């Protein structure tokens, strides 16, 4: 069986690192990318034949071009792109600094979009390839204090949903991974943005206050088990479009879907009341 080549962003820590290690242990090839190559170089040294560490700031156009070129030169092409790189800032929407939430979107959304657009031509030429976009339970169920992070993941999910409808007829695939809280050290990397506003003390402020007391034991998810689940999902004969990981994600997304369904059904009469009479029969979609 031929080896697959994976390019994984944000592979120096967290789920990205766990996935890179899992893929390599199962014999595939990995280009492990991160803005700093210290951790990825150590990983590549353990798998000199099948791993390559490449510096990649996903917001830098030259870095993106260089990373894809290095992959093609070393392994011949990319079979699976995993857009995993992400950052987070905590604070109420009114509190957070514009420079922070714009940076967040550049990494979480636009970096993934541009890297995807860059690899699609060679995937289309070969009529094979998979795009894996790492979202979050926050990408479907938003919370106070995390609104901009959630917004970036909502955007990534909308992009991915349109993407798979465009590329599946060409033999390509795309999927969204929606992890819950995993023991990846994310509590040490998440930053607070802006000055606290007293009026938000009971909502976003409560989340801010909790940040200092988080411990790994509060996160139920095992990164190694998540890596195995992603690996299996990518290799499935009929891959899912949405892959939920973690008991907390299953619960939170389930509650959101129930709320959405209830309000959707309650609004049915109102929705139909706004059409021209008989116009629904000629609707485009």
Residue of 13, 17, 101, 149 with catalytic role: 149
Give the torsion sign (CA, 257, 160, 67, 61).
negative
- What's the start-to-end Cα distance of the chain, in Å? 42
**Secondary structure class of 191 (helix, strand, coil):** strand
Q: How far is CA 243 from CA 12, 37, 174, 195, in A?
A: 23, 29, 11, 36
Is 151 known to be catalytic? no
DSSP letters along 203-259, please? THHHHHHHHTT--GGG--B-HHHHHHHHHHHHH-SS--SEEEESHHHHHHHHHHHHH
- 36 as an active site residue: the answer is no
Rounded-to-integer distance, Cα 211 and Cα 77, Å: 41
Known active-site residue 261: no
User: How is the chain split among helix, strand and coil, in percent rounded to 5?
Assistant: 55, 15, 30
**267 CA to centre of own chain:** 31
Asked if 193 is an active-site residue, the reply is: no
Three-state DSSP state, 51: strand
Q: Which of 4, 152, 153, 200 is catalytic?
A: 153
- The active-site residue out of 135, 151, 152, 181 is 135
Residue tagged active-site, from 12, 150, 152, 181? 12
CA distance 256 to 272: 24
Do residues 220 and 247 touch, judged by C-beta distance below 8 A? yes
Q: Give catalytic residue positions.
A: 12, 135, 149, 153
């Amino acid at each position: 069986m031929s080896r697959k080549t994976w390019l994984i962003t944000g592979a120096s820590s967290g789920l990205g690192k766990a996935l890179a290690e899992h893929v390599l242990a199962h014999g595939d090839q990995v280009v492990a990318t991160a803005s700093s190559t210290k951790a990825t170089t150590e990983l590549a040294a353990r798998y000199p034949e099948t791993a390559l560490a490449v510096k990649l700031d996903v917001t830098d156009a030259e870095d993106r071009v260089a990373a894809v070129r290095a992959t093609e030169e070393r392994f011949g092409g990319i079979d699976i792109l995993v857009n995993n790189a992400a950052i987070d800032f905590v604070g109420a929407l009114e509190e957070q600094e514009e420079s922070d939430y714009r940076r967040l979107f550049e990494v979480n959304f636009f970096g993934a979009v541009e890297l995807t657009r860059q690899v699609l031509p060679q995937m289309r030429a070969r009529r094979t390839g998979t795009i894996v976009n790492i979202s979050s339970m926050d990408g479907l169920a938003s919370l106070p204090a995390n609104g901009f992070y959630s917004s970036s993941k909502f955007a990534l999910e909308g992009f991915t949903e349109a993407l798979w409808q465009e590329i599946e007829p060409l033999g390509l695939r795309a999927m969204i991974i929606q992890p819950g809280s995993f023991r990846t050290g994310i509590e040490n990397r998440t930053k607070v943005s802006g000055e606290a506003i007293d009026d938000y003390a009971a909502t976003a402020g409560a989340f801010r206050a909790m940040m200092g007391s988080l411990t790994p034991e509060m996160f139920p998810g095992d990164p190694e088990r998540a890596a195995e689940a992603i690996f299996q999902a990518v290799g499935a004969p009929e891959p899912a479009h949405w892959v939920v990981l973690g008991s907390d994600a299953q619960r939170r997304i389930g509650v959101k879907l129930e709320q959405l369904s209830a309000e959707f059904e309650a609004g049915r009469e109102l929705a139909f009341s706004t059409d021209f009479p008989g116009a629904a029969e000629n609707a485009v979609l």
